[in-house]
Amino acid sequence: MVKKIVQNLLVICSVWMLTGCFDVVEEVDINSNGSGRIKATVNLSKSKTKVASLMKLDKVDGIKIPSKTEIQKEADAIVRLLKQTSGISDVQSSLDFDNYIATLSCSFNDVKALNAFSKILSAHFKVELSTYSSYSYDPAARVFGRNYTYNAEVKKEFAKLKTDNQESFNQAHFTSIYRFQDHVARQQHANAKISPNKKAVMLKVRATDLINGKVNLSNRITLSK
């Protein structure tokens, strides 16, 4: 089942991301008490003409391409799950099929609510998503954590794409931005950067490095006391 879910995710990537240029951005705003808001954005606007052409095809590398209706259906299912999750509120989402920009955001009472959402998705998709990514926050120690475990199945499914389609991922990036009310004292990721005002940490990595397990998203951010 893990293989099937990963394959389905790559199907959507094949349509929305085999374009030579796309960005996935994760933004998390953390309040001092551990509550906050998270927003995820997939932006393919720079390649919208090519994406529109791909959407007209039946298959990519032998994999069936989902329709706009199917993509919308999955997005709606995720929104419903979010709204049913304890500690989650103000769920907002959008799918712009003209510019090919998708966003999903919600507020949370604490990071435990985000991890609870991962568990609900795990049950929905029958795959242990929470094993791969989770969050933590210790208000007493003033430490925020992003925990990430590489899933080798992604690389196996990615390898099934044709070489030219794989190469189009070279210009794709994943960016995580964590903002805080308080100043950041230090962070542990070698490639992440603390903002000039000391209240945010940003990490930008190539999608291919994530897929091939060459980079890890885990980080430990300590706030000033």
pTM listed for this prediction: 0.84
Q: How far apart are CA 142 and CA 19, in angstroms?
A: 41
Residues 84-110 pLDDT 10s: 888 999 999 899 989 888 888 899 999
Helix or strand (DSSP H, E) at 51: helix 48-55
Instruction: List, as own/partner pairs, every contact residues 186-195 make where C-beta atoms lie below 8 angstroms and the sequence separation is at least 24, other chains included.
Output: 186/221, 186/222, 187/219, 187/220, 187/221, 187/222, 188/219, 188/220, 188/221, 189/218, 189/219, 191/215, 192/219
CA distance 189 to 218: 7
Tell me how far the alpha carbon of residue 11 is from its chain's centroid. Answer: 16
223: β partners: 184
> Of the candidates 216, 214, 189, 213, which has an alpha carbon nearest to the alpha carbon of residue 201?
189
* CB atoms inside a 10 Å sphere around CB 94: 11
Burial classification of residue 84, based on how many CB atoms lie within 10 Å of its CB (0-12 exposed, 13-18 middle, 19 or more buried): exposed
Q: Where are the domains of the chain?
A: 2-223
Helix (H) or strand (E) holding 66: none
How far apart, in Å, do the first and last CA atoms of the chain sit? 45
The per-residue pLDDT for range 147-195, each reduced to its tens digit, is: 988 878 778 777 877 787 777 778 888 899 999 999 999 999 999 999 9
What is the share, in percent, of the chain residues with pLDDT greater than 70?
81
CA angle 63, 69, 72 (to 5 degrees): 100
Residue 130 has pLDDT above 50, yes or no: no
